Amino acid sequence: MPWHLSLTVDRNAQLPLGAQVQGSLRRLIEDGTLSSGSRLPSSRQLAADLEISRSVVVEAYEQLSAEGYLVARRGSGTVVAENVRDHPGAGSVLTSPQPEPTDATWDLRTGSSDVSTFPRQEWIRSVAAALTDAGRTELGYGPPSGVLLTRHVLVGYLGRVRGVRTQPQNLMITAGFAQGLALLCKVLRDRGHDALGVEDPGHPGEREFITSAGLRPVGIPVDADGLRVDRLEESGVRVVLTTPANQFPTGVPLSQERRERLISWARAVDGYVVEDDFDSAYLNRSERIPALQSLAPDRVVYAGSASKVLAPALRLGWMAAPSELMASVESARVGWDIGCSGIEQLAFARFITEGAHDRHQRKLRAEFRKRRELVRELLPHHLPGARVLGGDSGLQAYVELPPGVDETALVQSARARSVLVRGGTFYTLDDRTRPPALVVSYATVGCPGLKASTAALGAAYREVTGRRPG
Ligand SMILES: Cc1ncc(COP(=O)(O)O)c(C=O)c1O
């Protein structure tokens, strides 16, 4: 017998019904209420129980299947996947849960960095030195915005590597980019904003954050020059979240003309641009132009984190904002968590000033360049007719597929060959004009694995499209 599920949906909530159903099911699975092998009601049954359209439930089941939470079994309906609670990444809103089916060999999904390279010894040395030197002050409560020394070091560092123009009093240390975004959304909501522009395609986890903060994410399309500023101008929003250095996930940089137009827009609407500089460590030299913030520190909120270079587990991020906005963010922070770990912040300052950060980054940059070159060579070969978008930077390749290719079937076929990968629709908000696509991350798979996994993708592609390498 399929289980009856005590789920509810709120028709008056801002969160779409599908997202509510997905979120509730995910929670029930993650907290163990629904264990592996549990059978779910049929989509028809659940839709009838909740008095919602069946297509909403079908889509929720499909999404959770793509994420590895559910498995559709011929003849016995939809059941909770095996070992779904064992995955350490489950539960993070920004990264999206990444339950890892035990049978998958290669994970080409975005969201991770290569934590296997984490410089453990150098980090331990930095933490040990910070602890050894820490006196009463350092071991007590610090300023909610972060340890002053670390903010000084970061201001110098971001000025040196990204051209960021700020002062320690306008820079806050956050628990990753995620917390900075959450704080900012709260402030914007308090100031009467009800919507925030986001790139479409973009990061679905960020959209969830924005929605949870009570703001409506408004999709702004992206093309070969990055965010469509003309569409932003028509949208009515006054704040936009963007990844100008390397658009996530397409990998295109924002053109110079649009950078300038974006700043003019922010001034004209008396608004802000939120610059998510999440993977600037992996910008190729020719694409490493200064952060957008350097053009207008009074209009751009600049944010970054240690997640892509060191490890997401550190939960170390930073946000530089114009002073009047930072004052509100600081007030919000005081009632929030009284700041991040002071010892980790001091360790991070040391890690930067002793050159360990630059050394580690250089090593990773060289490794990712090798992987990128390989992927950009292999994908067009294995997926004939496909086109890899974007510049020569970042941690993933956005692969546009010929019109008509069944993206969902391709993702499923890849999965049957032990490759976890996501289709373009996973990142899409409303822009249905984009051709089908795959987003192939090379953050966690080295060159030998990339050769094998792209070949497996090629076999999946042949099965779904009938096309063979020429
Ligand atoms: C687009 C984007 N922004 C920011 C982040 C970093 O988030 P955090 O610093 O909260 O770990 C990620 C991580 O996956 C990301 O993909």
DSSP string, 52-96: S-HHHHHHHHHHHHHTTSEEEETTTEEEEPTTGGG-TTTT-TTT-
Q: Can you tell me the mean pLDDT for 459-468? A: 92
Cα of 10 to ligand 1 centre, how many Å?
Answer: 29
pLDDT in tens, 2-26: 567 778 888 887 778 888 888 888 8
Q: Please give the C-alpha separations between residue 107 and each of 5, 177, 231, 373, 414, in angstroms, as whole numbers.
A: 31, 23, 35, 18, 11
* Shared-domain flag, residues 332 and 417: no
* Shared-domain flag, residues 60 and 204: no
Q: Are 238 and 271 in contact (CB under 8 A)?
A: yes
pLDDT band, residue 103 (cuts 50/70/90): low
Host domain of residue 433: 358-465
Instruction: Give pLDDT, residue 438.
Output: 98
Q: Are 130 and 343 in contact (CB under 8 A)?
A: yes
In a domain, residue 207? The reply is: yes
Evaluate the CA torsion angle 128, 133, 136, 139 in order and state its sign: negative
Domain C-terminal end among 307, 337, 354? 354
pLDDT in tens, 346-372: 999 999 999 999 999 999 999 999 999
* Shared-domain flag, residues 277 and 386: no
* Shared-domain flag, residues 241 and 369: no
* Shared-domain flag, residues 163 and 279: yes
Report how far residue 346's alpha carbon sits from residue 267's, in angstroms, rounded to the nearest whole number: 36
In a domain, residue 102? The reply is: no
pLDDT at 133 over 90: yes
Buried b (16+ CB within 10 A) or exposed e, 271-298: bbbbbbbbbbbbbbeebbbebbbbbbbe
* Shared-domain flag, residues 328 and 419: no
Cα of 459 to ligand 1 centre, how many Å?
Answer: 31
Cα of 336 to ligand 1 centre, how many Å?
Answer: 21
Calculated CA dihedral for residues 370, 284, 438, 118, nearest 10 degrees = 60
* Shared-domain flag, residues 367 and 335: no
**CATH number of the domain within which 81 lies:** 1.10.10.10
Element (H, E) at 301: strand 300-305
In a domain, residue 411? The reply is: yes
Taking all residues of the chain, what is their mean pLDDT, rounded to a whole number?
Answer: 91
Closest residue by Cα to atom 5, ligand 1, is 278
Instruction: Give pLDDT, residue 95.
Output: 54
* Shared-domain flag, residues 433 and 334: no
**CATH number of the domain within which 424 lies:** 3.90.1150.10
* Shared-domain flag, residues 39 and 184: no
Looking at the CA of residue 307, tell me the nearest atom of ligand 1: 11
Into how many domains does the chain fold? 3
Cα of 55 to ligand 1 centre, how many Å?
Answer: 31
Structure token digits, residue 437: 């696509």
Report how far residue 316's alpha carbon sits from residue 160's, in angstroms, rounded to the nearest whole number: 19
pLDDT in tens, 176-234: 999 999 999 999 999 999 999 999 999 999 999 999 999 999 999 999 999 999 999 99
Looking at the CA of residue 317, tell me the nearest atom of ligand 1: 9
* Shared-domain flag, residues 445 and 334: no
Q: Please give the C-alpha separations between residue 85 and each of 66, 72, 228, 435, 442, in angstroms, as whole numbers.
A: 16, 18, 40, 34, 25
* Shared-domain flag, residues 344 and 321: yes
Domain C-terminal end among 26, 60, 86? 86
Nearest to 212 by CA among 437, 20, 18: 20
User: 26-30, 404-408, 430-434: which range is least confident on average?
Assistant: 26-30
Looking at the CA of residue 180, tell me the nearest atom of ligand 1: 10
Q: What percent of the chain has pLDDT over 90?
A: 73
Q: Please give the C-alpha separations between residue 320 and each of 50, 130, 297, 426, in angstroms, as whole numbers.
A: 44, 24, 9, 30
Q: Within 6 Å (CB) of ligand 1, which residues are found? A: 94-95, 111, 176-178, 203, 243, 248, 276, 278, 305, 307, 312, 317
Cα of 370 to ligand 1 centre, how many Å?
Answer: 23
In a domain, residue 9? The reply is: yes
Q: Which of 305, 398, 426 to mutate to test the pocket of ligand 1 (most atoms within 8 A of CB)?
A: 305
pLDDT band, residue 287 (cuts 50/70/90): confident
Cα of 279 to ligand 1 centre, how many Å?
Answer: 8
In a domain, residue 209? The reply is: yes
**Residues 6+ positions from 75 with CB-CB distance below 8 Å:** none
pLDDT band, residue 99 (cuts 50/70/90): low
- Residue by residue, DSSP assigns 149-173 as HHHHHHHHHHHHHH-----GGGEEE
Instruction: Give pLDDT, residue 10.
Output: 85
Q: Give residue 4's identity as a one-letter amino acid code.
A: H
**CATH number of the domain within which 271 lies:** 3.40.640.10
In a domain, residue 341? The reply is: yes
Instruction: Give pLDDT, residue 94.
Output: 55
Instruction: Give pLDDT, residue 88.
Output: 41
Q: Are 171 and 345 in contact (CB under 8 A)?
A: no
* Shared-domain flag, residues 368 and 340: no
Cα of 54 to ligand 1 centre, how many Å?
Answer: 33
Instruction: Give pLDDT, residue 97.
Output: 46
Looking at the CA of residue 203, tell me the nearest atom of ligand 1: 1
In a domain, residue 106? The reply is: no
Q: Which of 93, 109, 308 to mutate to test the pocket of ligand 1 (most atoms within 8 A of CB)?
A: 308
Cα of 201 to ligand 1 centre, how many Å?
Answer: 15
In a domain, residue 347? The reply is: yes
Q: How many Cα atoms sit within 13 Å of 152 on the Cβ side?
A: 6
Domain C-terminal end among 64, 86, 108? 86
Say how many C-beta atoms besides its own lie within 10 A of residue 233's C-beta: 16
